[in-house]
Structure 1
Amino acid sequence: MSEGSNDPLDEAAAQLAHLARALLSASEVGLRIHATRTARRTGTPAVAVPEPRRPRGEEDDRDRAVAPATSTSRSPRRTSAAHPARTSTPVTPPSGRRPAGAPHAPRPSTRGPASSRLLGVHRDALDFFREQERPAWATDMLRDRGLTAAWEPPWSAGYAPAGWTQLTQHLRSRGWDDEVLLAAGLSRRSRTGNLIDHFRDRIVLPLRRADGQVIGFVGRCAPGGDPRTPKYLNSPASGVYDKSATLFGLAEGRAALTSGAVPVLVEGPMDAIAVAAVTGEAFVGLAPCGTSLTRAHVDELGRVVDLASSTVVVATDHDAAGDAAAVKAFERIAGRCAGQLRAGLPEGLDPSDVLRREGPAGLREALTTRTRPLLDVAVDHRLMRWADQLQWVQGRVRAARHVAPLIAQLKESERGSAVTALAQRLDLMESTVSDAVAVAVPELSREVPPDASTSRRIQEGSTPTLRPPAATTAPPHTRGR
């Protein structure tokens, strides 16, 4: 039939054929889009989608459009084998994400020239802070809290002046360029684009890595200031500083810890100084800065202390937030140390508050004779949410399941007594609690490291530095009605 035919049936047939070709093309495009998206998500090369089979001699408009000007004919495309260029180009994921399965790019070295420059500029910054005249509020605050030792080594506190650019200008005069100041987190850009000091009008304490090198700072603001101002301000992350793996006080107390001092986990650097100030070398205060306790923090402590033969004391504030922090600490250290204790701080007070109100003797007593097992604190905290359901058996069973993961994190040799104590407290059969713990153990087995030093500790006949006191009597439980 000629193209000029005006037969309605022929025209309808031609329109249907054109529509069919369009649908095939749309289907092919959809498949290609799907393949490309899958490749971007998985990181694998895009797989070519075979083109629809066309009748012999029929030519696609797209083939004519891409054919070279000198060519008069072109065979239809068939498979990816005939056109490898369409299938071999890797897809780069958006936002700079690494394709799945691709090798990791090497991380910047923390020991190369960049690291040495960051360490150098931090040394100069500490010297600058130490040379500044201290305002009255700073000296009065530390004196009133009994923490004047913070100005002296090993703490070496200084003062960041209230001006906008004093440190920045000083470091520039020492030859440090803006790139280093920004990378170290000592300066930052204002809204106008100019560099300003990160720390202003604060008592500044250096943060050190294990070898004593300064890698950052934490600053304490003046009391009674703007409530929107953060009480503590930390250095931002840099090539040498990671707050999730840095414990304030670990480098300063390293010698005491290796000699048998008891690690005390606190919430702030002033608390860490307070612990060390009143206990000599018997206890060493350790504080995460700007974050809660992490497994990396515990790993860092474990490189200095044999945790398997040591008892760790947690001296967080005696309030709701402090109790939550204590539970988090238990989850991080349970199963890794010989004992875990909670310091007996008065309600609403932290170690530096206790030192100010009760003196050195009061703080020493809170760390020694007023302690209780940290597991009991964690169990109390978790049972609080079930208080209105403990009168029913089903509520007590659910409460036991909620507490079971805490017991599962203990060493296997310690779980039996904890199961018995919880069963008695909730008036449940021990088998019920034991089953709940057995379910929780596999979920935590990959997170809790094995006690690799148990046999060595037995062979050496060593004992924990500080033995936990006998467990306190559990509060009376409520029997079902």
Structure 2
Amino acid sequence: MRFTETQIEDVRSSADIVDVVSQYVKLKKRGKNYIGLCPFHQEKTPSFTVSGEKQMYHCFGCHKGGNVFTFVMEVEKVSFVEAVRSLAQKAGMVLPDDQTTTPEQQTEAENLYNVCRFAAQTFHDNLVYSDEGKFALEYFRKRGFTDETIRAFGLGYTMNEWDAFIQQAKEHGFQPETLVKAGLARTRDDGSLYDYFRGRAMFPIFSATARVIGFGARKIRDDDPVQGKYINSPETPVYNKSRVLFGLSHSKEAIRQQEYALMVEGYADLISLFQSGVQNVVASSGTALTEEQLALLGRYTKQLTLVYDADSAGSNATLRGIDLALEKDFDIRVAELPQGDDPDSFVRKHGAPAFRDLLLKAASFIEFKANTAVKAGEFSSPEGKARAVRSIVQSIAKMRDDLKRNFYIKEVSEKYSIYESTLFRELEHWTGGASRRGFSSPAVAKKSPIGERENQDQRTTPQADLSAAERDLLKLLLEGAPDLVQFIVANIQPSQFQNAAARSMCQHIVEVCDVQGEFDAGRFVQETAEESFRNLATDVVMSKYELSPKWDESDKHIAVADSYEIARAAIRVLHRQEVVRAMEENQLALKQANASGSDPMPLLQRQHELLDLKKRIDHSDYLKS
């Protein structure tokens, strides 16, 4: 499917990149730009920058960059067409369907998203409009879900038949293999298909951008032959349960505004809380909390309160979640529910105000682990006390922040009247001796300062060895007015760039100018298939320093001045460097000629010509206007 340039431009102009990125990353204003933790690589210090003025993003850690379309493509792993259509839908724009496009021409992901969306709508219609669905509708209402909540979360029902959904899907043009890949159908030994979900209450599972990617199915019939209260979609190319947080599509705005999140276990827990007004909540969907889920949540907040069931399984899940969250730099608290309650039952019995009071009393992870040990009888003996304290220190060891470790060790020391030195020895046992009283050794600190890994990544990228002159010329080529771009193109050769990536990009710009008469940087960032070009372009455009108006012999940056003067100065630097390199090569050839007895006169004449050329570059205005 192809959209016209006008349609693409309309979508781009309606989709502000700051608003779009904010749906995935917690951004903070810094000067004219916004910064946040990069969604494309793990980092502790924000290096991901978004410019509302330029409608571009760039990470100075991993060096990914682009515009609103490339951002959606990267973060959602979708095609350009899917990104355009997704942004158009969010903006309320209607793009025409291309009737000539066949299902085979769509990407696999598009097909799976489409069939999951169709399934969710079909299941919801079954719930609301069919006679059979009334039983499931009554089930949801008994759980206290209002009609508005049922609509908001797209709750549904699957008919208690072997192929009811398959037949509906086929009538709407979906291929059998797509149904199987989406986890909606299974294949029998004889090759025939049957519905995977039958006679169950359905909970659609959404991606962070509100696309249906899978389902959770709750048993509600006594005659259901399938074992298990819940069955979930199998993993598919668009659904990986370890990378999905149920409800994030609905709660991310509240999480961003309140700057902390609640983690519950089940679908009903989340929906009940959300309906009651507690909306900064996500669910791990019955699976053990994973690193990928925490990485996803970490885009929005690093403040997390765990609210799992009060039974032993919930307690064990909480203990596992604590260590994993601490390792991922979360500040973690635990809200303990009364025995026999889960978040769903508690809020239905006691209401949202009582639940909020419960959150105010949330314990630190140290208090929770200590309380758990007391309940298990660990504090009845010295050996048990040692095990309990050792478990707490093990959790502290998961932290990456040495200063936080130091304060927590002090807290444990005061709480249990244990010498800090004893606790630090135990801590060093679990950290491999890399930490002592909250500080790394000087040798380690010098070799591994904060952000060192990110800085190493930055130094090894193609744009890291750009000279100041090359960077400024690229910046002017990408941002300058058409006449300035033509002036630069007329006075440089791509071969004069020493950086390979810059040389290739300059060659591309020259070729475009030769054919089209001008260069559109915005279109270049949008349309280029070369990721290295796009990343270099955004790195240069959003660089952390300003252009230089003039250069000394060391090519140092000074203050900002007229763009033409900046361009002339940078061009002179490239020309001078080219001449100096030629003089060095010629000087070497002279030495070889003298050593071999060859006639040196042609080389001497060449050296004088190069000296004259260097003087002309330094002392006259020789550039084409």
Which whole-Å deviations, capped at 9, do the CAs of 1:23-65 have from their partners, x for residues lacking one?
Answer: xxxxxxxxxxxxxxxxxxxxxxxxxxxxxxxxxxxxxxxxxxx
The Cα shift of 1:226 comes to 6.4
Q: Contact between 1:159 and 1:204, CA under 8 Å: does it hold in 2?
A: yes
Is contact 2:310–2:340 with CA below 8 Å preserved after alignment? yes
Structure 2 spans left out of the alignment, 5+ residues? 1-76, 80-105, 436-448, 452-625
Paired AA for residue 332 in structure 2:
Q
- Report the AA paired with residue 423 of structure 2: V
Seen in structure 2, the aligned counterparts of structure 1 residues 232 and 422 have a Cα distance that, compared at 3 Å, is same
Q: List aligned pairs for 1:282-293, cutoff 5 A.
A: 283-293=279-289
Q: CA deviation at 1:364?
A: 2.9
Question: How far apart, in 2, do the equivalents of 1:345 and 1:334 lie?
Answer: 22
Q: Cα gap change, 1:225/1:430 in structure 2, threshold over 3 Å: closer, same or farther?
A: farther
Q: 1:375 to 1:336 in 2, by over 3 A?
A: farther
Show the counterpart of 1:407: 396
Letter of the 1:378 counterpart: K
Displacement of 1:444 after TM fit? 10
Report SS of the residue matched to 2:250.
coil
Cα RMSD after superposing both structures: 3.0
Instruction: Say if 1:285 and 1:138 are closer, same or farther in 2 by CA, change over 3 A.
Output: farther
Q: In the alignment, is the contact (CA less than 8 A) between 1:150 and 1:157 conserved in 2?
A: no
The 10-residue stretch of structure 1 (159-168 or 192-201) with the greater mean CA deviation from structure 2: 192-201
Change in CA separation of 1:126 and 1:338 when aligned onto 2, cut-off 3 Å? closer
How far did residue 427 of structure 1 move? Answer: 4.7
For residue 364 of structure 2, what is the amino acid of its counterpart? P
The 3-state SS of whatever aligns with 1:428 is coil
Cα distance, 1:346–1:381 mapped onto 2, change above 3 Å: closer
Structure 1 350/419 Cα, relative in aligned 2: closer, same or farther at 3 Å?
same
What do residues 400-427 of structure 1 show as CA deviations (whole Å, max 9, x unaligned)? 3333210112332332343234345555
Q: 2:194 aligns with which of 193, 196, 200?
A: 196
Gaps of 5+ in 1: 1-108, 453-481
Partner-residue secondary structure (3-state), 2:152? coil
Residues 369-417 of structure 1, C-alpha deviations (whole Å, 9 max, x = no match):
33222332134446766727x633x664454333321011233233234
The structural deviation recorded for 1:297 is: 0.1
Q: Verify the 8 A CA contact 1:203 1:220 in the aligned structure 2.
A: yes
- Separation in 2, partners of 1:398, 1:238: 42
* Native 8 Å contact 1:265 1:287 kept in 2: yes
TM-aligned CA deviation for residue 224 of structure 1: 6.3
Q: Distance in 1 between matches of 2:232 and 2:226?
A: 16
Retained in 2: the 8 A contact 1:276–1:285? yes
**Structure 1 residues 399, 342: CA separation in 2 closer, same or farther (over 3 Å shift)?**
closer
Q: Provide, for residues 248-289 of structure 1, a one-character-per-residue CA deviation record: whole Å limited to 9, x for no partner.
A: 011112222232353110000111112211125xx4221122
Aligned pair partner of 2:410 in 409, 416, 420: 420
State the partner residue of 1:141. Answer: 139
Residue correspondence of structure 1 range 83-102 to structure 2 within 5 A? none
Per-residue deviation, 1:116: 0.8
Whole-Å separation in 1 of the counterparts to 2:161 and 2:433: 52
The 1-side partners of 2:165 and 2:208 are apart by 26
SS in 2 for 1:219: strand
Relative distance call for 1:402 and 1:380 in structure 2 (3 A) is same
Matched, 1:440 2:430: yes
Verify the 8 A CA contact 1:382 1:403 in the aligned structure 2: no
If you compute each CA radius of gyration, which structure gives the higher value, 1 or 2? Answer: 1
Q: 1:381 to 1:125 in 2, by over 3 A?
A: same
Distance of 2:223 and 2:198 partners within structure 1: 13
The aligned residue for residue 215 of structure 1 is: 213
CA distance in 2, matches of 1:139, 1:395: 50
The answer as to 2:367 corresponding to 1:376 is yes
Shift, 1:336, TM fit? 4.4
2:177 is the alignment partner of 1:179: yes
CA distance in 2, matches of 1:224, 1:451: 58
Output the CA distance in 2 between the equivalents of 1:161 and 1:230: 18
Residue 175 of structure 2 aligns with an amino acid whose one-letter code is D
Tell me which residue corresponds to 1:345: 337
Secondary structure of 1:251 counterpart:
helix
Alpha-carbon contact 2:265-2:308 (below 8 Å) kept: yes
Aligned to 1:361: 353
Q: In structure 2, what is the equivalent of residue 316 of structure 1?
A: 308
Q: Note if contact 1:149-1:277 (Cα within 8 Å) is conserved in structure 2.
A: no
Q: How does 1:48-127 map to 2 (within 5 A)?
A: 111=79, 113-127=107-121
2:536 aligned partner: none
Which residue identity does 1:187 align to in structure 2? A
Whichever residue aligns with residue 348 of structure 2, its letter is R
CA distance in 1, matches of 2:280, 2:127: 29
Query: What CA distance in whole angstroms lies between the structure 1 residues aligned with 2:282 and 2:425?
Result: 37
Contact 1:110 1:239 in 2 (8 A): no
- CA distance in structure 2 between the partners assigned to 1:119 and 1:140 by the alignment: 29
Q: 1:129 aligns with which of 123, 129, 134?
A: 123
CA distance in 1, matches of 2:241, 2:345: 25
Q: 2:189 and 2:350 mapped to 1: Cα distance?
A: 46
CA distance in 1 between counterparts of 2:304 and 2:431 reads: 23
Corresponding position of 2:250: 252
In 1, Cα distance between the equivalents of 2:332 and 2:148? 28
Q: Secondary structure at the match of 1:233?
A: strand
Give the structure 2 partner of residue 155 of structure 1.
153
Cα deviation for residue 348 of structure 1 reads: 1.9
Distance, in Å, in 2 between the alignment partners of 1:294 and 1:451 is 25
| Residue type at the aligned position of 1:404 | V
Please give the secondary structure, in 1, of the residue aligned with 2:258: coil
CA contact (8 A) 2:203 2:217 kept: yes
Higher helix share: 2
Question: What's the TM-score once normalised by structure 1's chain length?
Answer: 0.62
Q: 1:444 to 1:180 in 2, by over 3 A?
A: farther
Note if 1:275 corresponds to 2:273.
Answer: yes
Alignment partner of 2:309: what SS? coil
Task: Give the match for residue 11 of structure 1.
Answer: none
One-letter amino acid of the structure 2 residue matched with residue 422 of structure 1: V
Quick one: which amino acid aligns to residue 324 of structure 1? N
Contact 2:366 2:392 in 1 (8 A): no
Query: Scaled by the length of structure 2, what TM-score is found?
Result: 0.49
Aligned residues: 331
Q: Is the 2:120–2:204 Cα contact (8 Å) retained in structure 1?
A: yes
Alpha-carbon spacing, 1:359–1:263, altered in 2? closer, same or farther (3 Å):
same
Distance 1:259 1:444 in 2: 37
- Aligned counterparts of 1:356 and 1:371: Cα–Cα separation in 2: 20
1:114 CA drift (Å): 0.8
Counterpart pick for 1:297 among 281, 293, 298: 293
Report how far residue 137 of structure 1 moved: 4.0
